[in-house]
Amino acid sequence: MAQQHTWVDLQVRQAMDRGDFDDLPGAGKPIQDLGDSHDPNWWLKKLVEREHVALLPPSLALRKEDAELDQTLDRFNTEAEVRRHVDDFNQRVVAARYRLPEGPPLITMPRDVDETVAAWSERRTARLAEQRRKAREALADQAAEPEPKRRWWRR
């Protein structure tokens, strides 16, 4: 038994001398959950933490999605995509109303598709106009800058 320990120690020492343990991920950091008690759902908690999964009741998840819906819609380029996303959102709101409530009551209302698309279109037009204005200003600034004078000989 003692010979086994010395052989293992020798192998570890040789690996350290070769640099096999250099630049390992997590080097110099404490081992996580070393002193924690055993939790049978440890893997689920780690998954939720690592993937940033929100475990909200459907009513709160829909309320949060409703609050962020305009920002989500601004990422789409076509009216068809916006309509499809708003229709999907409305279907989920209506489906949640027909289910038994889980958690707080559902206060989120379906969105009017035409009003939402019109608001998206106005925001998109304003955003494009702002981008064009900034591009024109950048071109004007470039044109206004005098070109550096060049000497007829170089040093």
Residues 46-105 pLDDT 10s: 887 888 776 788 888 899 999 999 999 999 999 999 999 999 999 999 999 998 888 888
Query: Tokens representing 105?
Result: 């009551």
The pLDDT > 90 percentage for the chain reads: 45
Rounded mean pLDDT of 3-24?
Answer: 86
Name the residue range of residue 89's domain. Answer: 50-140
Quick check: is 152 in a domain? no
Measured torsion, CA atoms of residues 130, 136, 137, 143, in degrees rounded to the nearest 10: 170
Quick check: is 35 in a domain? no
How many Cβ atoms from other residues are within 10 Å of residue 118's Cβ? 12
Cα separation of 143 and 72, whole Å? 37
pLDDT of residue 90: 96
Quick check: is 39 in a domain? no
Quick check: is 127 in a domain? yes
Lowest mean pLDDT among 110-119, 122-131, 143-152: 143-152
Confidence tier at 154 by pLDDT (50, 70, 90): low
Cα separation of 113 and 86, whole Å? 6
Quick check: is 130 in a domain? yes
Cα separation of 96 and 84, whole Å? 18
Quick check: is 36 in a domain? no
Cα separation of 75 and 81, whole Å? 10
Quick check: is 113 in a domain? yes
Which DSSP helix (H) or strand (E) runs through 111? none
Quick check: is 147 in a domain? no
Q: What is the pTM of this model?
A: 0.58
Please, are residues 117 and 76 in contact by the beta-carbon 8 Å criterion?
A: no
Domain count across the chain: 1
